[in-house]
Amino acid sequence: MRFLKTRLFAALLGPFACLSVGSDPAGAKPKIAPEDALEILMAGNQRFVAGRPMFPDQSPNRRRELAAGQKPFAIVLTCADSRVAPELYFDQGLGNLFVVRNAGNILNDHTIGSIEYAVEHLGSSLILVVGHGKCGAVGAAVAGGHAPGRIPSIVESILPAVKASAGEPGDPVDNAIRANARQVAAALAGCAPILGDAVKLGRLKVVPARYDLVTGRVEILYAQPAAPAAAKAAPAVHGEVVAHAEPAKPAAH
């Protein structure tokens, strides 16, 4: 694959490191604008919260269609926690989301490379970094102490968020969960050249969010403001029209 031949990743560059290697500035052009992609996902989350999911794109025909290739419109970087399932809480089906999961939704070379591939080769226009309430990885970083095996590598990646949120009012673990999602999103948005260039060209948005285990609601922590929207038809995903929904307002933190 061209991607594997042209991208070399360092063995260890730290949790937020990116390599400045050559890329095709054009890349794969997204079929869905970043703002529309976010709107579709938030509409799906509203259906999930209300207990009225549509379970789209899960038919035998859809499976046959995807055998020829994939064009996921959004990327979700989230935790490996078994209680967190983006395809469910965004009410999406096969081929719609490119999901990358690890404990604490942290960054390393493999995570970044996977996301770069989806943006440059598959045309994804939105990256959502979704932390979640009661995250054990973040809780361990806040608590400190010794962790066995390779678990300390996860904790060390989250410590910058723990330090950044120290002293904030409220629950220290939840504050760190939010700070971690924001820091990871900011690192991805500035990751040169693939992701950073796509952001500058307006082809890509990177948005941090938090998923609530109890309510099922996804809260957008902040997002780049979109231009005032005129009345328009709802964006369609694979022929399915999804009603527009107002994205959640940024939280004050």
- In tens, the pLDDT along 141-179 reads 999 999 999 999 999 999 999 999 999 999 999 999 999
Predicted TM-score (pTM) above 0.85: no
Q: Which of 30, 197, 208, 210 is nearest to 124 (CA)?
A: 30
CATH classification at residue 213: 3.40.1050.10
Whether 6 is in a domain gets the answer no
Q: How many domains does the chain have?
A: 1
Whether 100 is in a domain gets the answer yes
Q: Supply 203's token pair.
A: 């082809």
Whether 151 is in a domain gets the answer yes
pLDDT along the chain (253 residues), means of 10: 35 41 50 96 98 96 97 98 98 98 98 98 98 98 94 97 97 98 98 97 97 98 51 41 36 42
Q: Which domain holds residue 207?
A: 18-224+231-241
What is the model's pLDDT at position 102?
Answer: 98
d(CA 23, CA 41): 29
Whether 5 is in a domain gets the answer no
Whether 116 is in a domain gets the answer yes
What is the model's pLDDT at position 222?
Answer: 75
3-state helix vs strand vs coil in the chain, percent to 5: 40, 10, 50
Whether 10 is in a domain gets the answer no
What is the model's pLDDT at position 3?
Answer: 35
What is the model's pLDDT at position 54?
Answer: 97
Whether 201 is in a domain gets the answer yes
